[in-house]
């Protein structure tokens, strides 16, 4: 992998007395799409909240462009160039689509460039232009997800953290959303850290992947190689090997191949 723009080193984050992530370390190379896979409760969302400053790690460090950012306030993390698209979208329901997008650019003072970026996101998601003056809370789930991604993009981030962008969407919308994520990465050079339960789609678009299980990284490899591993096929892609290896059950496995 190339030099990381973002690095987590042995981070441990707690909810009260409960350790949610346990010594997690990973690199996100500049210009790549890196995905973190895992089941519900594995700690994926906690990882993103720790990076963006919503939660503080009790141990370990988070480094962005060579600078440690753990314990930094979320607004300062955002100003450095990290935008977070949270699980559940969290748009401002009583503001219009246009107002939501302008909220994404609230730290910027380059009005002409903001106007240009607004047209760019309307190009990615034409439905948002059609609904520009509509209240965000009246949009469909898919449209709200488009708005959440676009709002984050309006900050001109260097890194975008995406938490379950496919959650609750139809297969057609999931395909459309992921096509735009790839375009944002390729056309605008935005590095993507993607947390996703839809392993098939995440592995298709990602460059490198990590598998998180009960707060620990248990596997890491290129997405091209991960998709060929029997454990990934069986437990994330639903493809079972009829041989002896495929007949083993997850709970009996003590190591990952």
pLDDT score of 41? 85
CB 164 within 8 A of CB 196: yes
Q: Which two tokens mark 134?
A: 């509509």
CATH number of the domain residue 177 falls in? 3.40.50.300
Q: Which domain holds residue 124?
A: 4-226
What's the pLDDT at 249? 43
**Residues 180, 184: Cα–Cα separation, whole Å:** 6
H helix or E strand, kind and range, residue 85: strand 82-85
Read off the pLDDT of each residue in 228-246 and give the average, rounded to a whole number: 68
> Would residue 203 count as lying in a domain?
yes
Please state which of the ranges 87-101, 179-193, 225-239 shows the lowest mean pLDDT.
225-239
Residue 248 inside a domain? The answer is no
pLDDT at 171: 87
Run of H or E residues at 9: strand 4-15
pLDDT for res 182: 95
Which of 28, 80, 35 is closest to 53 using CA atoms?
Answer: 80
Given this model, what pLDDT does residue 167 score? Answer: 85
Count of all residues that appear for the chain in the document: 257
What is the rounded average pLDDT for all residues in the chain?
89
Mean pLDDT check: name the lowest of 9-23, 166-180, 199-213.
166-180
Under 8 Å between Cβ of 120 and 129: no
- Nearest-angstrom CA–CA distance, 115 and 200: 36
CB 148 within 8 A of CB 85: yes
Over residues 70-79, the mean pLDDT reads: 95
Q: Tokens standing for 48?
A: 């993103």
**What band does 1 get if pLDDT is binned at 50, 70 and 90?**
low
Q: Do the domain assignments include residue 232?
A: no
Cβ-Cβ contacts under 8 Å for 89 (sequence gap 6 or more) = 141, 144, 145, 147, 148
Give the total number of structural domains in the chain: 1
Structural domain contains residue 249: no
Q: Confirm if 50 and 56 have CB atoms less than 8 A apart.
A: yes
**pLDDT for residue 250 is more than 80:** no
- pLDDT tens digits, 131-149: 999 999 999 988 999 999 9
For residue 76, give both structure tokens: 């300062």
For residues 224 and 218, the answer to whether their CB atoms sit within 8 Å is: no
The pair of structure tokens assigned to 128 is: 């948002």
Res 233: pLDDT = 81
> Model confidence over 22-73: pLDDT tens digits?
999 999 999 999 999 988 888 999 999 999 999 999 999 999 999 999 999 9
The vertex-80 CA angle with 77 and 84, nearest 5°, equals 50
pLDDT band per the 50, 70, 90 thresholds, residue 89: confident
DSSP string, 14-58: EETTEEEEEEEEEEEETT-EEEEE--TTSSHHHHHHHHHTSS--S
Express as a percent the part of the chain with pLDDT over 90.
72
pTM score: 0.88
Residue 109 inside a domain? The answer is yes
Please state the φ and ψ torsions of residue 256, each to the nearest 5 degrees: -100, 145
The pLDDT of 201-212, averaged and rounded, is 94
pLDDT at position 203, please? 93
Whether 199 has a pLDDT exceeding 70, the answer reads yes
């Amino acid at each position: 992998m190339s030099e990381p723009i973002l690095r987590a080193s042995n981070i441990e984050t707690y909810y009260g007395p409960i350790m949610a992530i346990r010594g997690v370390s990973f690199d996100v190379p500049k210009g790549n799409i890196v995905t973190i896979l895992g089941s519900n409760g594995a700690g994926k969302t906690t990882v993103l909240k720790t990076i963006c400053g919503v939660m503080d790690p009790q141990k370990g460090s988070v480094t962005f462009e060579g600078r440690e950012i753990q314990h930094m306030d979320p607004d300062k993390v955002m100003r450095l160039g990290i935008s977070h698209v949270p699980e559940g979208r969290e748009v401002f329901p009583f503001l219009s689509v246009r107002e939501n997008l302008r909220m994404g650019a609230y730290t910027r003072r380059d009005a002409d460039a903001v106007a240009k970026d607004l047209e760019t996101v309307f190009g990615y998601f034409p439905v948002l232009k059609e609904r520009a003056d509509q209240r965000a809370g009246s949009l469909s789930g898919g449209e709200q997800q488009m708005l959440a991604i676009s709002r984050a993009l309006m900050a001109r981030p260097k890194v975008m953290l995406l938490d379950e962008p496919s959650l609750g969407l139809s297969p057609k919308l999931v395909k459309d959303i992921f096509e735009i994520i790839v375009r944002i990465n390729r056309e605008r050079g935005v590095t993507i850290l993607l947390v996703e339960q839809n392993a098939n789609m995440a592995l298709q678009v990602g460059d490198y992947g990590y598998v998180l299980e009960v707060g620990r990284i248990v596997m890491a490899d290129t997405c091209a190689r991960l998709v060929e591993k029997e454990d990934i096929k069986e437990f994330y892609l639903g493809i079972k090997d009829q041989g002896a290896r495929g007949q083993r059950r997850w709970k009996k496995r003590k190591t990952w191949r």
